[in-house]
Amino acid sequence: MATAYQNLSSCDNNTVPDAPHLRVAIVCAEWNADITGALLEGACNTLQKHGVKPENIFVEHVPGTYELTFGAQRAAAHYRPDAVIVLGCVIQGETPHFDYVCQGVTEGTTRLNATLDIPVIFGVLTTGDKQQALDRAGGKYGNKGNEAAVTAIKMAAFAARMK
């Protein structure tokens, strides 16, 4: 559903499993740090709100959004978490670079979901301008980091049920 119709930070807390046992790795892009930092803060706060212990949240940074796939793969192997969240922000510019980065990280995340035994959650903003990113990183449309954290909890619970 389009963000204009649903706040990224709103969810029915009754549908989010309690998660005191979960281990979650977050790989966050440094590029557009003001945006990705807000996404990271939202994700960490939401994970803790639902019971994930701070010592079970492992945060790593990579230079840009394109590098999130490699970072997620390595974080999954190193930390052995129940889920990995990738956080990034790509703002459209005047060249096709936007398309290549967005396609690369989307396909990379999809590939990891098909090959790893744990969910890799796509918390990447792909916006037309900086204001759209700000609106989705704690602004008027909520925080995509919150949504990614809730998705990680739900998908980790799903994966556990399917073992």
Q: Which of the following is catalytic: 50, 61, 78, 97?
A: 97
Half-sphere exposure of 46 (CA within 13 A, CB side): 31
144 CB-near residues (< 8 Å, 6+ apart): 8, 39, 42, 87, 123, 125, 136, 137
User: What 3-state DSSP class applies to 139?
Assistant: strand
Number of Cβ within 10 Å of residue 104's Cβ equals 16
- The yes-or-no answer on residue 97 being catalytic is yes
What are the structure tokens assigned to 8, written together?
Answer: 């990224």
CA gap 102, 152 in Å, rounded: 21
How many residues are recorded in the chain?
163
Active site residues: 97
